[in-house]
Each structure stands twice: as structure tokens, then as C-alpha cells.
Chains A and B, each alone.
Chain A
Amino acid sequence: MGLFSRKPKDSQREDGLGISRKYDLLPGKCYIVEESPPDLSFDAFVNILSTQDEACAKVTGLAISRQHPDLIKQKYGLEKTPIFWLATRAGQDVISPTNLGILTHTIIKFIEENACGVILLDGLEYLVSNNDFNKALRVINQVNDHVAQSKCRIIIPVDPRAFDSKELALLERNAEKILGAQAK
């Protein structure tokens, strides 16, 4: 699977599990989940992918994470969803944390090619540590503009301990905030 081949395909849609939808995340919205580890974010991502959607027949997903794709596939039973690893190693499904252009392009291309997509961007702290906060924020804002004009949703877990209050406020300015269990 190449970085630039994000065509919506049935083969990339997860099979329904026959369980109920637990997260009412609205299309066109960005959700910042304050938590560590990102359990709620992954649960919401998998739940949306594995259940019937009111707006769409079936939702397609894209995950970008600091966690290795094999671990994510194993734990969350994702068999078809493309998963990119944020890492400095070379590889086909790897995005370098310093290459924000490829990261942004991958997400925007997915939004353009998937009418009802859900995106999980896990590893914002890693992006900030490899660039700087303002550069990472620009990525979020750019992606957010595209999400807002689509029926896609994006879930971004953030560890509140890694950001100061001003940075958190900037991240959450154009997003819905969800408090994870660890953040309460």
C-alpha cells in the first residue's frame, strides 16, 4: 500500500461486529481527547469503524500512530484499515515525524477520497518533540479545515501533561474536547 493510494475500497472497510455505537462523534468535527494512554480514542475509532453509521452505509478508517501497526491490528482487530507508523525507520507504511508535509498530504488525500472517514492521529507529543508546537498546530489546523468541509471525523488523543494551558487552548480552539479517564 503506497502513501498516495488512498482510494476508498470495500477491502479497506472493517466488517461490522454486531455491537452498538457507543460514541456520538459528529461528521465534520475534530475531537481532542485529553488522555494517556489513548484508550478512549482507540475504542472510539474501532467502535465507529465496526458499527453502522447513521450518515453513511459504512465508515472507512485511517490510523496514524506512534504505536507499531502490528500491535494495533492485534489489539483492536483491525484487519483492513490502513495504519501508518510515526517513526524514524524507513518503510512503506511509515511516516517520519519530521515530514509534516507527507503527514498532512496523507490525511487530506484520505479525506478527499473517503466520503465518510474516521481518522485517528495518535502521537501529537512525538510530532511536537520532533518539530515544534506551532508547526504541529499548523498541521492540525490545516487538516481540521478539510475535515470541517467533509463528513469525516478526526480523533486526536493528547496527553495533557505534555502541553501547557495555552497550547491546550490552541489545540482545542476549533475542536470538541473529550476528557479521557486519566485526565479527570
Chain B
Amino acid sequence: MKVLIVDDSEAFRKVMIELLVRVGFNDVAEAQDFDEGVAVFRKERPKISFVDMILPGKSGVELTSEMLKIDPKAVVIAMSSIVNKKMIRESLDSGAKDFLLKPTNEIALGAVLAMWSD
């Protein structure tokens, strides 16, 4: 199953890829902002996308909406390094299925993937 990570931090993307491989997801694509995120999403059609809510330029909420316009069945998981309730509600309202606090870990990531990868 293809997974996409959209985050402007290369270091965080690397950590996420390591964690995803550790929990059994080897097919991982990555992007650093809205434009690259949309392009990679169109090309790769990932089943699950982890999208940082704070991106340079257009936000993760806008990216979530755009991804779901392209593929309404896609699963988008919002991510952020702070628990901003307003932002989490906005991301869920825009179609994100769940939220992960950064930095994440194997337990939380595994739980999200188990819930949404079927």
C-alpha cells in the first residue's frame, strides 16, 4: 500500500519513513509543500497521506481538500507539532480522518495505520 508524507522538514520525513518501514509500510512517497504534494498525490495515488497542517504557502487544510477532490476515497491524516484544537477541527472538517501529534512514534503511527489502512 502506497503512503505519502507531506512535510517541509526533510529530517521529519526521514524519521517518518523509518517508522513506516518499521511498521511494515515500505512503499512511501514524499513531498515538501502544497504544489509538490498535489503533484505526487496525482501521480502516485497513495491510499493514506500524512499531511502537516503547517506548510510553506498553502496550508495542510487546503492540501487535504485538494487531495480529496482528486480522490474522495483517499485517507488523509493531519499532523502538527502542537495540539491546536481549532486547526484539528478545521482539518477534520476538510476531510482528514485523524490527527497525529509530531514527533510521532511507532505505537501511535501503528494505531492510525491499523485503523485506516483497511
Chain A contacts to B: CB under 8 angstroms? 15, 17-24, 39-40, 43-44, 46-47, 50, 74-79, 178, 180-181
Smallest CB-CB A-B distances: 5 pairs: A77-B83, A22-B111, A22-B108, A19-B99, A40-B105
Closest Cβ of chain A to B59, distance in Å, is 18
- Residue in B84, B88, B111 whose CB lies within 8 Å of A20: B111
Is residue B70 within 8 Å, beta carbon to beta carbon, of the partner chain? no
- Shortest CB distance B118–A (Å): 13
CA distance A24 to B108 in the complex (A): 10
Considering only CB atoms, which chain A residue lies closest to B15 in the complex? A181
How many B residues touch A, CB cutoff 8 Å?
21
Residues of A within 8 A of B92 (CB): 18-19
Complex Cα distance, B28 from A101, in Å, reads: 51
A interface secondary structure, majority: loop
In the complex, the answer to whether B108 meets A18 with C-beta atoms within 8 Å is no
Q: How far is the CA of A50 from the CA of B99 in the complex (A)?
A: 11
CA distance A21 to B115 in the complex (A): 10
A23: which B residues are within 8 A, CB to CB? 107-108, 111
CB-contact partner of A15 in B85, B105, B106, B115, under 8 A: B85
Query: Is B106 within 8 A of A22, CB to CB?
Result: no
- By the criterion CB–CB under 8 Å, are A40 and B107 in contact? yes
A20 x B112 contact (CB < 8 A): yes
Measured CB to CB, the nearest residue on chain B to A78 is B83
Let me know if A22 and B84 touch, CB within 8 A.
no
Supposing A18-B92, A20-B112 touch, asked if A181 and B83 sit within 8 A by C-beta, the answer is no
- What is the distance, in angstroms, from A145's C-beta to the closest C-beta of chain B? 26
Which chain A residue lies CB-closest to B101? A43
Q: Whole-angstrom distance from the CB of B16 to the nearest CB of chain A?
A: 11
In the bound complex, residues from chain B placing their C-beta under 8 Å from that of A43 are 101, 104-105, 108
